[in-house]
Structure 1
């Protein structure tokens, strides 16, 4: 075993590894960092002292389970618990690779299971109304155009919110296609509707901050790259005004993109490419959604139901 560095140094090295070698997205890095910090805080209270790498090596299966149980009691869903466990494993994996610790128990810990949840898209009418209300909200004109442009990108191109907000000015859609780097550092090309280009250009014309080739496309009120939280809050206000369910999130617009394409006759392989799914099984959830809606109609209208 090599000489162990302080935990803080090992932690920073891990974050650098995620950022520069693994090319993880800023959203992933933020979530992983938050998860591991919370885990280390729990372990500090668990052992009653300052945590070092040696303490992490000596943890047993019951210790990891105790942490996950505490997070579950705090209201975390099974899917969130799986991400937490993935964060911790990533940190341990880097430390083991550097020869700082070895803990066989973490590898035997099973991920929490849950039933696969179907996407919850908006219907076409609600989507159109939501985009219209975003344009006519009460914020300053440039903010309204900015938020409308982001939401139109999510729905019109099926982007993840992190993909939309990571675009720089030179990456903005100006033609009928848009090339971007998505999850897993995968490049994909998506078609761009004229309404998407118009929404982005309307925002660019009103943006009070200078935009050059390397600047972020979408700017927050402080002049820095727009944070996803601003768009999440915008959707929260819109869904309250429209009496939409809590599932009406920015990501629901990506679900709506896929669902409406499927309903319009697009094949699953094409939708898989447009969404940037690594596996077709992820895209097949939208077929399950169509079946679910069909059964709902059957149950409500068939005379023998």
Structure 2
């Protein structure tokens, strides 16, 4: 009997994109063809099991029961049951290529790949928006709160705005195709939950007005195709000043990238990965050279010059 297997890939992502705390996210595709993201396979089986490999597999919590993919499977099974669908009898495999606590949507990539593969394998019982709700719930178990700024871009691709709890939860925004998105992971780990605890419980009226104005003007600038105004809005008034203490040489990295004509510079998600936006490839390469020499802390670190990944999660053979 032929065993059916479904395999899905989900790309890395930038959460927040500086100006859009919990509301903006961007999926990444390295221009050199490097695979930056996790994949999950689902195969017919009499009972559930999970195997794991990949560069960062040994950094995951020990025990199959503690793996986020196992939790995705349990949640998916429960959702199938409550909606009157037959249970999914499968085994799963996670190929882990994204570092944990990197600020590149590592947990989101695994979650998205798992749910996308299971939904396809089961004959698509759930809609895109329903899957996003599931993905957000599982992401919240790791980060301490439900947010979609990594799972949504990783799933639907591109630059994504979170629109609310109702359908649709997220919507793609237009962006500038000529922009290069440079990401650099320093090699250390930052807990998303811990990084959230660093943030104030309340913000000043001035900061909240700046946040709303920047996000509104940024979205307008994308539709108006105004690169200069869009880039001007890409500063973080919510999290960066509180979180940058976790990132050695963050201010030096910003200064170096701005000297190389960066349109914007910021923390990817909770960090320690930083990102810079450039209009010219040569500028992006100059920034990359400095970051690789001065920002990366150990052998785990890396950098990639990317474009936006417009496809998001895909099925692979």
Taking structure 1 as the reference length, the TM-score comes to 0.25
When you count strand as a share of all residues, which structure comes out higher?
2
Bigger Rg over Cα: 1
* Greater fraction helix: 1
TM-score normalised according to structure 2 size: 0.24
